Structure 1
Amino acid sequence: MNAYKTFTNQSDVELTMTLLIRKGEDPQENYGTKIVTLTPKSTKGVEFGNDKNAYLNGIRIEASCNGSTLLLEQRVYHRDSEFDQILNNYNNVVIVAIQPLLLEAYD
Protein backbone atom coordinates (compact mmCIF):
# COMPACT_ATOMS: atom_id res chain seq x y z
CA MET A 1 0.00 0.00 0.00
CA ASN A 2 1.32 3.44 -0.93
CA ALA A 3 1.75 6.35 1.45
CA TYR A 4 -0.71 9.22 0.95
CA LYS A 5 -0.65 12.96 1.74
CA THR A 6 -2.70 15.94 0.71
CA PHE A 7 -0.79 18.99 -0.56
CA THR A 8 -2.29 22.47 -0.79
CA ASN A 9 -0.77 25.29 -2.83
CA GLN A 10 -1.83 28.62 -1.32
CA SER A 11 0.56 30.58 -3.54
CA ASP A 12 -0.45 32.52 -6.64
CA VAL A 13 1.73 30.49 -9.03
CA GLU A 14 1.70 26.96 -10.42
CA LEU A 15 4.17 24.68 -8.64
CA THR A 16 5.93 21.61 -9.91
CA MET A 17 6.88 19.64 -6.80
CA THR A 18 9.27 16.75 -6.67
CA LEU A 19 8.73 14.70 -3.53
CA LEU A 20 11.97 13.10 -2.33
CA ILE A 21 10.98 9.72 -0.90
CA ARG A 22 12.99 8.17 1.93
CA LYS A 23 14.19 4.58 1.86
CA GLY A 24 13.04 3.07 5.14
CA GLU A 25 13.42 5.30 8.20
CA ASP A 26 16.94 6.68 7.64
CA PRO A 27 17.01 10.24 6.21
CA GLN A 28 20.39 9.49 4.65
CA GLU A 29 18.79 6.91 2.32
CA ASN A 30 16.72 7.80 -0.74
CA TYR A 31 14.10 5.59 -2.37
CA GLY A 32 12.90 7.67 -5.31
CA THR A 33 10.87 10.68 -6.37
CA LYS A 34 7.30 11.60 -7.26
CA ILE A 35 6.50 14.65 -9.41
CA VAL A 36 3.27 16.55 -8.73
CA THR A 37 1.88 19.72 -10.32
CA LEU A 38 -0.26 22.03 -8.21
CA THR A 39 -2.13 24.93 -9.76
CA PRO A 40 -2.51 28.13 -7.71
CA LYS A 41 -4.91 27.85 -4.76
CA SER A 42 -5.43 24.11 -5.29
CA THR A 43 -5.33 20.91 -3.24
CA LYS A 44 -4.30 17.47 -4.46
CA GLY A 45 -4.03 14.06 -2.84
CA VAL A 46 -0.79 12.27 -3.70
CA GLU A 47 0.22 8.63 -3.39
CA PHE A 48 3.95 7.88 -3.11
CA GLY A 49 6.36 5.20 -1.94
CA ASN A 50 5.07 1.94 -0.46
CA ASP A 51 4.67 0.22 2.93
CA LYS A 52 8.43 0.13 3.55
CA ASN A 53 9.20 3.54 2.05
CA ALA A 54 6.46 5.79 3.37
CA TYR A 55 8.41 8.85 4.55
CA LEU A 56 9.52 11.97 2.71
CA ASN A 57 13.14 13.11 2.76
CA GLY A 58 12.43 16.49 1.24
CA ILE A 59 10.69 18.53 -1.38
CA ARG A 60 11.89 20.36 -4.49
CA ILE A 61 9.70 23.11 -5.93
CA GLU A 62 9.94 24.75 -9.33
CA ALA A 63 7.85 27.78 -10.25
CA SER A 64 7.84 30.49 -12.90
CA CYS A 65 7.87 33.90 -11.22
CA ASN A 66 8.17 37.29 -12.90
CA GLY A 67 9.89 36.03 -16.04
CA SER A 68 12.32 33.66 -14.33
CA THR A 69 12.32 30.16 -12.90
CA LEU A 70 12.53 29.72 -9.15
CA LEU A 71 13.97 26.46 -7.79
CA LEU A 72 13.71 25.64 -4.10
CA GLU A 73 14.79 22.46 -2.34
CA GLN A 74 14.73 21.52 1.30
CA ARG A 75 15.86 18.14 2.66
CA VAL A 76 15.63 16.31 5.96
CA TYR A 77 19.00 15.40 7.47
CA HIS A 78 17.88 14.42 10.98
CA ARG A 79 14.78 12.49 12.03
CA ASP A 80 12.39 14.46 14.21
CA SER A 81 13.75 17.81 13.02
CA GLU A 82 11.09 20.48 12.52
CA PHE A 83 11.06 19.94 8.75
CA ASP A 84 10.89 16.14 9.16
CA GLN A 85 7.88 16.54 11.43
CA ILE A 86 6.12 18.84 8.96
CA LEU A 87 6.61 16.38 6.10
CA ASN A 88 5.99 13.13 7.96
CA ASN A 89 3.84 13.62 11.06
CA TYR A 90 0.79 15.09 9.34
CA ASN A 91 -1.56 14.07 6.53
CA ASN A 92 -1.92 17.58 5.08
CA VAL A 93 0.97 19.76 3.94
CA VAL A 94 0.27 23.37 2.97
CA ILE A 95 2.64 25.48 0.89
CA VAL A 96 1.76 28.90 2.22
CA ALA A 97 4.11 30.96 0.05
CA ILE A 98 7.26 30.74 -2.01
CA GLN A 99 9.80 33.49 -1.69
CA PRO A 100 11.79 34.56 -4.74
CA LEU A 101 15.44 35.40 -4.33
CA LEU A 102 15.72 39.04 -3.25
CA LEU A 103 18.59 40.84 -5.01
CA GLU A 104 19.77 44.41 -5.13
CA ALA A 105 22.11 45.86 -7.75
CA TYR A 106 24.12 49.06 -7.79
CA ASP A 107 27.18 50.76 -9.37
Structure 2
Amino acid sequence: MKNSLLLAGLLVSMAGHATTNCPADFHQTPLYPEARFCQSFDDKLPASLSYHANSDIQQAADFYLQQLGTPDNDETLKGRRVLQFDQGQKVVVLSADGQGTQVDILVKSSS
Protein backbone atom coordinates (compact mmCIF):
# COMPACT_ATOMS: atom_id res chain seq x y z
CA MET A 1 0.00 0.00 0.00
CA LYS A 2 2.79 2.41 0.93
CA ASN A 3 4.56 1.68 -2.38
CA SER A 4 1.32 2.24 -4.29
CA LEU A 5 0.83 5.65 -2.68
CA LEU A 6 4.44 6.58 -3.38
CA LEU A 7 4.09 5.53 -7.03
CA ALA A 8 0.80 7.44 -7.40
CA GLY A 9 2.41 10.56 -5.93
CA LEU A 10 5.36 10.22 -8.30
CA LEU A 11 3.08 9.89 -11.32
CA VAL A 12 1.08 12.96 -10.31
CA SER A 13 4.32 14.88 -9.76
CA MET A 14 5.65 13.79 -13.16
CA ALA A 15 2.42 14.74 -14.90
CA GLY A 16 2.47 18.24 -13.42
CA HIS A 17 6.15 18.66 -14.21
CA ALA A 18 5.76 17.51 -17.81
CA THR A 19 2.81 19.79 -18.48
CA THR A 20 4.61 22.91 -17.31
CA ASN A 21 7.69 22.08 -19.39
CA CYS A 22 5.91 21.92 -22.75
CA PRO A 23 6.85 24.88 -24.93
CA ALA A 24 4.40 26.60 -27.27
CA ASP A 25 6.61 25.60 -30.18
CA PHE A 26 9.73 23.63 -30.96
CA HIS A 27 12.15 25.25 -33.43
CA GLN A 28 9.24 27.23 -34.93
CA THR A 29 7.04 24.13 -35.12
CA PRO A 30 3.86 24.56 -33.03
CA LEU A 31 2.68 22.03 -30.47
CA TYR A 32 -0.93 20.87 -30.29
CA PRO A 33 -2.85 22.86 -27.63
CA GLU A 34 -2.42 21.56 -24.07
CA ALA A 35 0.51 19.31 -25.00
CA ARG A 36 1.61 17.07 -22.14
CA PHE A 37 4.55 14.88 -21.19
CA CYS A 38 7.02 16.74 -23.42
CA GLN A 39 10.47 15.30 -23.77
CA SER A 40 13.12 17.07 -25.82
CA PHE A 41 16.04 15.02 -27.09
CA ASP A 42 18.37 17.82 -28.19
CA ASP A 43 18.42 21.60 -28.27
CA LYS A 44 20.82 21.83 -31.22
CA LEU A 45 19.74 20.76 -34.68
CA PRO A 46 18.97 18.09 -35.61
CA ALA A 47 16.63 17.91 -32.64
CA SER A 48 13.48 16.04 -31.67
CA LEU A 49 10.64 16.43 -29.22
CA SER A 50 7.95 13.93 -28.24
CA TYR A 51 4.69 14.72 -26.46
CA HIS A 52 1.13 13.56 -25.86
CA ALA A 53 -1.81 15.35 -27.48
CA ASN A 54 -5.34 14.90 -26.16
CA SER A 55 -6.75 14.26 -29.65
CA ASP A 56 -7.01 11.51 -32.19
CA ILE A 57 -4.50 11.20 -35.03
CA GLN A 58 -6.77 12.93 -37.56
CA GLN A 59 -7.34 15.97 -35.31
CA ALA A 60 -3.59 16.27 -34.69
CA ALA A 61 -2.88 15.92 -38.43
CA ASP A 62 -5.48 18.59 -39.23
CA PHE A 63 -3.79 20.90 -36.71
CA TYR A 64 -0.39 20.49 -38.37
CA LEU A 65 -1.82 20.85 -41.87
CA GLN A 66 -3.53 24.08 -40.80
CA GLN A 67 -0.42 25.42 -39.03
CA LEU A 68 2.29 24.33 -41.49
CA GLY A 69 0.43 24.07 -44.79
CA THR A 70 0.50 21.32 -47.36
CA PRO A 71 3.15 18.71 -46.54
CA ASP A 72 5.74 17.61 -49.07
CA ASN A 73 4.87 14.04 -48.12
CA ASP A 74 1.96 12.54 -46.14
CA GLU A 75 1.94 8.79 -45.63
CA THR A 76 0.95 6.13 -43.14
CA LEU A 77 3.69 3.68 -42.14
CA LYS A 78 3.04 0.88 -39.65
CA GLY A 79 0.01 2.68 -38.20
CA ARG A 80 1.83 6.00 -37.85
CA ARG A 81 1.01 9.08 -39.89
CA VAL A 82 4.16 10.76 -41.14
CA LEU A 83 4.02 14.36 -42.36
CA GLN A 84 7.10 15.94 -43.94
CA PHE A 85 7.45 19.69 -44.44
CA ASP A 86 10.14 22.04 -45.81
CA GLN A 87 11.74 19.45 -48.11
CA GLY A 88 11.86 16.92 -45.28
CA GLN A 89 13.60 19.28 -42.83
CA LYS A 90 10.59 19.08 -40.46
CA VAL A 91 8.97 15.71 -39.84
CA VAL A 92 5.89 15.16 -37.66
CA VAL A 93 5.03 11.57 -36.74
CA LEU A 94 1.61 10.85 -35.21
CA SER A 95 0.76 7.55 -33.54
CA ALA A 96 -2.16 6.35 -31.43
CA ASP A 97 -1.40 6.52 -27.71
CA GLY A 98 -4.16 5.40 -25.36
CA GLN A 99 -6.85 8.08 -25.36
CA GLY A 100 -4.79 10.45 -27.51
CA THR A 101 -1.88 10.77 -29.88
CA GLN A 102 1.86 10.64 -29.43
CA VAL A 103 3.46 13.39 -31.49
CA ASP A 104 7.12 13.19 -32.44
CA ILE A 105 8.68 16.24 -34.08
CA LEU A 106 12.04 16.01 -35.81
CA VAL A 107 13.68 19.22 -37.01
CA LYS A 108 16.74 18.52 -39.14
CA SER A 109 17.71 22.12 -39.93
CA SER A 110 16.17 25.56 -39.84
CA SER A 111 14.59 26.67 -43.06
TM norm structure 2: 0.27
**Which has the larger strand fraction?**
1
**Which has the larger helix fraction?**
2
TM norm structure 1: 0.28
